[in-house]
Amino acid sequence: MTAPSIVWLRRDLRLADQAALLAACAAGPVVCVYVLDDETPQHRKMGGASRWWLHQSLASLAAGLEERGARLILRRGSCAPALPALAAEIGATEIHALHHYEPWWRNAERAVAKALTLHLHHGNYLAPAGSVLTGSGTPFKIFTPFWRALQAQVLPPPKPQAAPDKIPAPSHWPASDRLEDWGLLPTRPDWASGFRAEWTPGEAGADERLQDFADHAKGYAAARNLPARQGTSRLSPHLHFGEISPATVWHRVAGKGGSVGTFLGELGWRDYAQNVIMQLPDYGGTNAKPQFEKLPWRSGDGAEADLAAWQQGRTGYPIVDAGMRQLWHSGWMHNRVRMIAASFLIKHLLIDWRRGEQWFWDTLVDADYGSNAVNWQWSAGSGVDAQMFVRIMAPLSQSPKFDAAGYIRTWVPELTHLPDGDIHDPVFPVRGYPAKLIGHAQARARALAAWSEVKG
């Protein structure tokens, strides 16, 4: 009997439009494996919210494989020794996987390739990272010209391929861990009840979410900025875990008309983030602009207390607090509010953007190294393509501008009784709701003074 091939799964937990799986099926028997590897990423191992999602997604994928005569093998440990060990057990010499661009996964791919014949396929992005180049043959660092070139050189992407009806099985199945033994789900306390109400991880859940969004995608440009409405796609965790391919999303949405091009640009931004971390692997923890290392970020007990208040949604700024509470309850935050909350931490509280990025890494179900790093450095002004530090977002004007009254009432119940004219900026003490950590004018002056030290 033909020796089986291994399909190494990571953030590509789907059967449809899965190039690694399809290539392995064409070669003969297939063993799909997911290795829970907390060693290779080191301090970048998945946070709590991502681990909750991963449990649900793996359970869904295992069921889909069983329907096609296959199994999902689970192993735990470093991928570099775990995969060759599995190959030895089943007599495999070849392994298929999709390209991943996080620096730790690129290191792991190089290590695995020393022991096995590793076939890397594309499919988690619209185009392979690093493949869209400037006229001089170098990767782009700025989004707008990157997006123009991506559209001209690559798009639309190839049409997605269907999942295999049957997956060839090996003569015997290797041993597998039990998913329940991995401890991915919270227990005491069980903080994920809001997650369960909000999300359906897995390939079917991703398809349902896409279909719902496709029905109103043409109004995306206006609706995406209104946090009280369901105007965004909410596909980000499904795309992050690879439960649906970006090509599938593109072809389902592209012909919907209206402002759908704005949404397609967000798919392009996701590709752009991967191009950035390909060039700057430490982007998640290192300022792209070295002068930001001189910025006098606040530290000490006062800064730590303010950071905790921001994390808990107790800043006294209703739009910020609503976003942070939505994040804790559901593992997700509206994108416009993410920008407001990030800017508030960096410029109102003068706390290093990396502290916020770390919090999002642990609490977001769509925590993605490339996207998180690019978005936080954009907000700080420290990135290769970023707004200026001196552009200080005003949350008290952003809130009414984007009609956030209903959003605030949902997540900050202490303010529910206030009329729209007062809820964005309560002007009198409200029982149970904190006073502002700092006034906007005072915060702005402090941030500009800090920036003047950098320039000096």
* CA distance linking residue 18 with residue 161, whole number of Å: 8
Give whole-number Cα distances, 196 to 242, 317, 330, in Å.
19, 28, 8
| Portion of the chain with pLDDT greater than 70, in percent | 100
Q: What pLDDT does residue 76 have? A: 98
Mean pLDDT, residues 182-192 taken together? 93
What confidence tier does 221 reach under pLDDT thresholds 50, 70, 90? very high
Q: Write down the mean pLDDT value for the chain.
A: 97
Give the residues across from 119 on adjacent strands.
Answer: 96
Mean pLDDT, residues 439-452 taken together? 97
Closest CA to 283 of 406, 378, 151, 213: 378
Query: Architecture of 290-455 per CATH?
Result: Orthogonal Bundle (1.10)
Q: What pLDDT does residue 136 have? A: 95
Mean pLDDT, residues 104-113 taken together? 98
* CA distance linking residue 56 with residue 66, whole number of Å: 16
Q: What residue spans in the chain does CATH classification 1.25.40.80 cover?
A: 125-157+203-279
Closest CA to 454 of 288, 291, 289, 287: 291
Mean pLDDT, residues 365-371 taken together? 98
**67-76, 255-264, 423-432: lowest mean pLDDT where?**
423-432
Give the residues across from 139 on adjacent strands.
Answer: 133
Task: Identify whether the C-beta of residue 61 lies closer than 8 Å to the C-beta of residue 13.
Answer: yes
Q: What pLDDT does residue 146 have? A: 98
Task: Identify whether the C-beta of residue 409 lies closer than 8 Å to the C-beta of residue 419.
Answer: no
Mean pLDDT, residues 58-69 taken together? 98
Q: What pLDDT does residue 427 have? A: 84
What is the β-pairing status of strands 117-121 and 30-36? unpaired
- Whether residue 455 has pLDDT greater than 90: no
Q: What pLDDT does residue 343 have? A: 98
What confidence tier does 188 reach under pLDDT thresholds 50, 70, 90? confident
- Whether residue 57 has pLDDT greater than 70: yes
CATH 1.25.40.80 fits 5-123, yes or no: no
- Whether residue 44 has pLDDT greater than 80: yes
Mean pLDDT, residues 211-230 taken together? 95
- Whether residue 200 has pLDDT greater than 80: yes
- Whether residue 286 has pLDDT greater than 70: yes
Q: What pLDDT does residue 23 have? A: 98
- Whether residue 317 has pLDDT greater than 90: yes
Task: Identify whether the C-beta of residue 207 lies closer than 8 Å to the C-beta of residue 163.
Answer: no
* CA distance linking residue 12 with residue 390, whole number of Å: 39
Q: What residue spans in the chain does CATH classification 3.40.50.620 cover?
A: 5-123
What pTM did the predictor assign?
Answer: 0.97
How far, rounded to the nearest angstrom, does the alpha carbon of residue 293 sit from its chain's CA centroid? 26
| Portion of the chain with pLDDT greater than 90, in percent | 97
Give the residues across from 96 on adjacent strands.
Answer: 7, 119
- Whether residue 102 has pLDDT greater than 90: yes
What confidence tier does 95 reach under pLDDT thresholds 50, 70, 90? very high
Q: What is the DSSP string of 255-283?
A: GG-TTHHHHHHHHHHHHHHHHHHHH-TTT
Mean pLDDT, residues 279-296 taken together? 96
Half-sphere exposure of 20 (CA within 13 A, CB side): 29
* CA distance linking residue 113 with residue 242, whole number of Å: 22
What confidence tier does 138 reach under pLDDT thresholds 50, 70, 90? very high
- Whether residue 1 has pLDDT greater than 80: no
Closest CA to 238 of 48, 51, 38, 54: 54
Q: What pLDDT does residue 428 have? A: 75
CATH fold, domain 125-157+203-279, is: 1.25.40
Mean pLDDT, residues 88-98 taken together? 97
Task: Classify residue 259 by burial, with Cβ atoms within 10 Å: 0-12, 13-18, 19+.
Answer: middle
- Whether residue 156 is preceded by a cis peptide bond, meaning omega within 30 degrees of 0, is yes
Mean pLDDT, residues 444-454 taken together? 96
CA dihedral of 50, 55, 60, 63, whole degrees rounded to 10: 150
Reduced to 3 states (helix: H, G, I; strand: E, B; else coil), residue 139 is strand
- Whether residue 266 has pLDDT greater than 70: yes
Q: For 403-430, how does the pLDDT look when each residue is reduced to its tens digit (9 = 90+)?
A: 999 999 999 999 999 999 999 999 878 9
- Backbone φ and ψ for 157, nearest 5 degrees, come out as -70, 165
Task: Identify whether the C-beta of residue 351 lies closer than 8 Å to the C-beta of residue 297.
Answer: yes
Q: What residue spans in the chain does CATH classification 1.10.579.10 cover?
A: 290-455
